Amino acid sequence: MAIFKNSHPLNIPGPLYTDLSCIDCGTCFHLGPSLFQENSDDKSVVIRQPSSLEEWKEAKRAILSCPTNSIGVHEAPDSFKTIDPELPLRIDDNVFYLGFTARESFGATTYFIERPEGNVLIDSPRFHPLLVKELEKRGGIKWMILSHQDDVADHKKFHQHFGCQRVIHADDVNSDTADCEHILEGPGPFELDSELKIITTPGHTKGHVCVNYRNKYLFTGDHLFVDAKNQTLVASESVCWYSWSIQIKSIEKLLSEQFEWVLPGHGGWMNVGLSGGDEKLQFLLNNALC
C-alpha cells in the first residue's frame, strides 16, 4: 500500500497520489501518460487527477502494476473498488500486457499469449492473486519463456501453481533458474512449436533471447526498446551488462526476421508495421544502434 503521509510533494492535489518509495520504473508513465510523469528527482508524480471512468481504469491499472506499491488513492470511494482495471490488457488479437510488475525485475513488462495450443507467458510478472485468478479463467499457462536472467521474478510460483514449462537459455541460468524445464544450449534458433520461435540475442546478457510469435509479434526483453515519442526503436549501451559489440550483432540478426510488433521488457510496445528486410526496418534498427 502506498503511504499518503509520504506523498510526493509535487503531486497535483486530489485523491490519486504517488509516494516517495517510487523506483522510477516507468510503468505508470506508460500506462497513464496523461496522469503520471517522471519528475526531475527520478520519482513519479501525479500531474493530473483522473476525470473519467477510462482514466480511473488507467489509474487502477497503474496501482496494480506498480512494483513497489507506490501509487494510492486517498480515501477511495466504494465506486473505485468496483472499477475493472482490465488486466491482462489486450494489445492486439490474442496478445496481452499482464501488468502486476515485480520489484525484483525492476518493473519489467511481461506479456500473455492466449491460444488453444496452450497459453504463453513472456517473462514473469508478480504472483498476485488477482492475476492468478484471471490466468486460471483463461486456461492457465503452458509455457513461460524467460527472455533473460533479470526478468524471472516469481517464475517458481507460477510453475508450482500452473505446472508451466519454463524456458531459458543456458548462458543465463543461475542457482535460481537451474530447475527450469527447458534449458536451451547453443545459438539456435529454437522452435517450441510452429508459431513460437526463440532467437538468441546475446548482448544485454550472455543468454538473452527474443521470441517471435507467428512472425508478427517480436518480444524483445531488454535487447531492444521502443522510443514512443520519436516512434523508433532504441538499444542501450548503458544497460548492456555483457557485450555491446555482441549486442550490435544480435540487433543486425533481427533484420532477417519478420515481425510487425515490437514488445519490449520495459516501457511501451509499438506496431512498426514492417517485416524483415524492409528498408524502414533497417532504418529503425540502425537507429537503435546510434
Question: Do residues 247 and 204 touch, judged by C-beta distance below 8 A?
Answer: yes
Q: How far is the CB of 11 from ligand SF4 (least distance, A)?
A: 11
Q: Where does this chain touch ligand SF4 (CB under 6 A) — which range of 60-68, 112-120, 203-211, 240-248?
A: 60-68
C-beta nearest to Fe ion: residue: 150
Residue 119's binding partner among ligand SF4, Fe ion, none (Cβ under 5 to 8 angstroms by kind) is none
Give the nearer residue to Fe ion in terms of CB position, either 152 or 285.
152
Using CB under 5 A as the binding rule, whether residue 222 contacts Fe ion is answered as yes
Using CB under 6 A as the binding rule, whether residue 25 contacts ligand SF4 is answered as yes
Using CB under 6 A as the binding rule, whether residue 28 contacts ligand SF4 is answered as yes
Task: Give the chain as a 3 state SS string.
Answer: CCCHHHECCCCCCCCEEEECCCCCCCHHHHHCCCCEEECCCCCEEECCCCCCHHHHHHHHHHHHHCCCCCEEECCCCHHHHCCCCCCCEEEECCEEECCCCCHHHCCCCCEEECCCCCCEEECCCCCCHHHHHHHHHCCCCCEEECCCHHHCCCHHHHHHHHCCEEEEEHHHCCCCCCCCCEEECCCCCEEEECCEEEEECCCCCCCCEEEEECCCEEEEECCCEEECCCCEEECCHHHCCCCHHHHHHHHHHHHHCCCCEEEECCCCCEECCCCCCCHHHHHHHHHHCC
Using CB under 6 A as the binding rule, whether residue 107 contacts ligand SF4 is answered as yes
Give the nearer residue to ligand SF4 in terms of CB position, either 153 or 196.
153
Q: How far is the CB of 2 from ligand SF4 (least distance, A)?
A: 8
Q: Which of 7, 44, 119, 201 touches ligand SF4 by CB under 6 A?
A: 44
Residue 18's binding partner among Fe ion, ligand SF4, none (Cβ under 5 to 8 angstroms by kind) is ligand SF4
Using CB under 6 A as the binding rule, whether residue 104 contacts ligand SF4 is answered as no
Using CB under 6 A as the binding rule, whether residue 22 contacts ligand SF4 is answered as yes
Using CB under 6 A as the binding rule, whether residue 203 contacts ligand SF4 is answered as no
Using CB under 5 A as the binding rule, whether residue 150 contacts Fe ion is answered as yes
Using CB under 5 A as the binding rule, whether residue 123 contacts Fe ion is answered as no
Q: Which of 10, 15, 23, 183 touches ligand SF4 by CB under 6 A?
A: 23
Q: How far is CA 224 from CA 5, 72, 233, in A?
A: 38, 31, 7
Angle at 43 between CA 39 and CA 49, to 5 degrees: 70
Q: Which of 10, 24, 76, 118 touches ligand SF4 by CB under 6 A?
A: 24
* Residue ranges that bind ligand SF4, judged by CB under 6 A: 18, 22-28, 44, 66-68, 70-71, 107
* Residue ranges that bind Fe ion, judged by CB under 5 A: 150, 222
